[in-house]
Copies of this chain bind each other. A is one copy, B any other.
Amino acid sequence: MNLPGQPPKQGARSLDPHLRRYAARTAGMTASEIRALFAVASRPEVVSLAGGMPHLAALPLDSLATEVADVVATDGLVALQYGSAQGIPELREQICEVMALEGINAHPDDVVVTVGSQMGLDMVTRIFCDPGDVVLAEGPSYVGALGSFSAYQANVVHVAMDADGLVPQALREAIAAVARAGQRVKFLYTIPNFHNPAGVTLAVERRTEVLEICRENGILVVEDNPYGLLGFDGVTYPALRSTDPDNVVYLGSFSKTFAAGLRVGWVLAPHAVREKLVLAAESATLCPPTFNQLVVSRYLSTHDWKGQIKTYREAYRERRDAAIEALEQHMPLGSTWNKPNGGFYVWLTVPEGIDTKAMLPRAITQRVAYASGTGFYADGLGSRQLRISYCYPTPERIREGVRRLANVIKDELELHETFGPSTPRHLSGPQTPSPDTA
């Protein structure tokens, strides 16, 4: 197997006749290391613990096919036509019912339908961030969010987490440090539930405190909540938005609770912000696909969508258990990880001296892929961490993947003892995710 030791296309880039024409922001756009290895990592014999692809096997495809056909046959002239940039009213009403499960009391007028919540994130950043503005975000944070912040040339300042999520005192200190540096915080970006990639959840007793700190300091909160309904203990936490409607912009998605391939997400925002978001969304895509909105709306009104979420929860809990059991069984001393109560991810810290990015090509040679930690930080940290996604493979494959990963780590430790530590290679700034690492 011939694995490149360097990111590809460095040579090709220097031959790009358009190189001097790109915007400054474009310099920060780099492919993730997993993409460089994608052709190999996607081979069937490789267990991918890298991806954020949801497990879809339990979806009722036959009844969905019938409903989708009916949408086209009976409502095709609407489904296939342009719609409003804000999204169709019926779906926005249904979205409010979904959010009610998390204690949110919202009006459909304040909902903007987006092409996945990634577009919501991009639009929020578009309307708020000038180059050099600061966004506070947990460290580590969602790689796709870091990509959007980078695209608008915002600077990310990370705030520490512990097992109970974002640490309020660390948030205070980060705000003070940014102020001392004469910079301006535009918003706190946070994933309170079943964090990507850290797997932790913001403790309920911390939620009010985080909201108060942001209010006191005039900082908007952007709450990203794709996994909130995927709690394994049947617990659904109250959204930050439910407590502070005027200072929280909430991002939601059907990608993990229904189907990612439809790309239907939404933003719930204070009214004035919502107006700006709609204008921004129009310049980005004119309108979200009408067809997909009608399909999601039909699904919500004709299917047992809460039952489907329960099915997903059970599938992911079984996979989480497989991952945790295998970690306990195989990982060498000096490795630590969390046990997530929902969502898709375990965050693993490997023994000292190992660089997870440098190790990745060797892991893929050993037929296991993961997302190394540095991609989840804007500041070069994370070289001792990696993310294990247990969402997509079967439990058997997860166990085998973790076993292989443990062996790779053990081999690294041996090499390390024999030859000393590997030299870490850091990229500057966030890397764009491949869809497999979303």
Size bracket of the A interface = 35 or more
Give CA–CA (A148, B23) in the complex, Å: 15
Given A72-B61, A76-B64, A84-B435, A128 contacting B21 (CB threshold 8 A): yes
Q: Are B282 and A127 in touch, CB under 8 angstroms?
A: no
Q: Distance in Å from the Cβ of A344 to the closest Cβ of chain B?
A: 13
Q: Mark A3-26, 1 if CB is under 8 A from B, else 0.
A: 000000100110111110111111
Chain B residue with the shortest CB-CB distance to A79: B261
Q: Are B130 and A220 in touch, CB under 8 angstroms?
A: no
For residue A326, which residues in chain B have a CB less than 8 angstroms away from its CB?
A: none
Which of A119, A289, A434 has most B Cβ within 10 Å? A289
Chain B residue with the shortest CB-CB distance to A292: B289
**Segment among A91-99, A198-206, A269-277, A351-359 that sits at the interface with chain B:** A269-277
Given A59-B76, A144-B286, A282-B147, A25 contacting B186 (CB threshold 8 A): no
Q: Are A144 and B283 in touch, CB under 8 angstroms?
A: yes
For residue A26, which residues in chain B have a CB less than 8 angstroms away from its CB?
A: 126-128, 276, 280
CB of A290 within 8 A of chain B? yes
Q: Are B61 and A18 in touch, CB under 8 angstroms?
A: no
Given A18-B270, A282-B435, A292-B291, A81 contacting B56 (CB threshold 8 A): yes
Query: What is the interface of chain A, defined by CB distance below 8 A to chain B?
Result: 9, 12-13, 15-19, 21-26, 29-31, 52-54, 56-57, 59, 61-62, 64-66, 68-70, 72-73, 76-85, 115-116, 118-119, 122, 126-131, 133, 144, 147-148, 150-152, 186-187, 220, 246, 255, 259-263, 270-273, 275-276, 279-280, 282-292, 295, 432-436, 438
